[in-house]
Amino acid sequence: MLSLEDAVELTLSSVTELEPEKVKLREALRRFSAQTLHAKVSLPGFDNSAMDGFAVVSTDLSKASESNPVTLKCSGIIPAGRCSDETVRPGHCMRIFTGSPVPIGADAVVMQEYCRINQEDGTVSCMDSVRPWENIRMQGEDVRSGDQVIIKGQRINTRAIGLLAATGHYAIEVGREPKVALVATGSELVEAPQELAPGQIYDSNRTMLAALLKSVNGSPKIYPIIRDELNATCKALEAAFKENDIVITSGGVSVGDHDHVKPAIEQLGGSINAWKVAIKPGKPFVLGQVNGRTLLGLPGNPASALVTYQLLVRPTLLKMQGATDCQPAKRVGVLAEEFTNKGDRRHFVRVSIDAQGIISSAGGQRSHMLGSLAKANALLDIPPHARLAKSNQAEVIMFED
């Protein structure tokens, strides 16, 4: 049986990065940058006012105060978005607003709250002193033109979109969204709203996996449920490989007489590169390849499908998009109860971690059990033959929704 680390390594090395594509910045959320990008402009782009007030020569106001106002002649107005070609000379000022370019000659802005406009002659009495460059935002103090703003392989979050937009980017190269075949095997499976006959169950894995894929930009193609027959499995997989970048199956990877995924891979001329991982749930995970394309065979039990998705599928889909960090986010919390693992495989327990960091079991943990899934927002990794005591700190692997 493979260790999880070896299984992850084998799985990741079975795929290569897809060719990048150009998307508008507005559509780039959660995608992975295919290039290191640099600022096309400086931020701020020019020296500008941080306040509504008056642009002044700071030495004029070095002694100004409420009891000693200094009166200046106002020689114009600079609205945001316009530059003035007038020079502010000593004894003068110009009306200025937040974001307006600072006029030549001025080296400070006095806030309007400390100024009084004398209506009769248009002069301005300033009742506060200013230091040189006070209330001025200097060109390039934040970002300089040419500075790196995003690194190749970095995930584009909402804040990165803000930075990229501000530095002049509007379309960028990102890793392509992988086309993912979702194939469910099982003669017992039925799709709602069809009525269940005795012995049948509703398929949940295709729907759950399609939803999970959304947060990692997977573009799912859902195939009809396959009966447990070798020929039907071969046919479905053949089409799935042809039409997608990667194939994910659920069910049919155990040792039963009706488990046809592995024989189908072989029948299609492919290879089984890994089978069975020392984790619970999810042991029968299969890694296969047909004509250079990867198949990730997840066990049919819904909790097993979820755990193998999170630990093995998700990183693979991220690598295909050129992501630098393919591992899920972790959080540290405190255990609300004791957790034990008597087995010899790592147990990934469905837990909920609340806003305060308290970690509790989400409910029943057997691999066929779905009842605890909606409550679970994380997985707790319990080593073999281990006991994690109540009130101890622990790290959990977060699901993203």
Binding site for ligand AMP (CB under 6 A): 184, 186, 188-189, 201, 203-205, 250-254, 256, 299-302, 368
* Rounded-to-integer distance, Cα 103 and Cα 192, Å: 69
Q: Give the CB-nearest residue to ligand AMP.
A: 300
Helix, strand or coil, per DSSP, at residue 280: strand
* Residue 321 touches which member of Mg ion, ligand AMP, none, C-beta under 5-8 Å by kind: none
> Does 302 interact with Mg ion (rule: CB under 5 A)?
no
Q: Give the CB-nearest residue to Mg ion.
A: 251
* Residue 270 touches which member of Mg ion, ligand AMP, none, C-beta under 5-8 Å by kind: none
User: Residue 251 CB, nearest distance to Mg ion (Å)?
Assistant: 4
> Does 186 interact with Mg ion (rule: CB under 5 A)?
yes
User: Residue 250 CB, nearest distance to Mg ion (Å)?
Assistant: 9
Minimum CB distance to Mg ion smaller for 230 or for 389:
230
Minimum CB distance to Mg ion smaller for 252 or for 328:
252
261 contact partners, CB below 8 Å, separation of at least 6: 185, 233, 237, 249, 251, 252, 253, 286, 288, 295, 297
Minimum CB distance to ligand AMP smaller for 48 or for 304:
304
User: Residue 355 CB, nearest distance to ligand AMP (Å)?
Assistant: 31
* Residue 368 touches which member of Mg ion, ligand AMP, none, C-beta under 5-8 Å by kind: ligand AMP
Minimum CB distance to Mg ion smaller for 218 or for 251:
251
Determine which helix (DSSP H) or strand (DSSP E) holds 165, and give its type and residue range. Answer: helix 158-166
Upstream peptide bond of 383 is cis (omega within 30 degrees of 0): no
- Give me the torsion for CA of 139, 143, 144, 147, rounded to 10°: 180
Helix, strand or coil, per DSSP, at residue 4: helix
Minimum CB distance to ligand AMP smaller for 222 or for 268:
222
Nearest to 320 by CA among 299, 297, 294, 298: 294
Amino acid at 205: N
User: Residue 261 CB, nearest distance to Mg ion (Å)?
Assistant: 9
Q: Please classify residue 231 by burial: count the beta carbons closer than 10 Å to its beta carbon, then call 0-12 exposed, 13-18 middle and 19+ buried.
A: exposed
User: Residue 156 CB, nearest distance to Mg ion (Å)?
Assistant: 39
How far is C-alpha 92 from the geometric centre of its chain's CA atoms? 52
Question: Quick one: which segment of 18-26, 159-167, 251-259, 390-398 binds Mg ion (CB under 5 A)?
Answer: 251-259
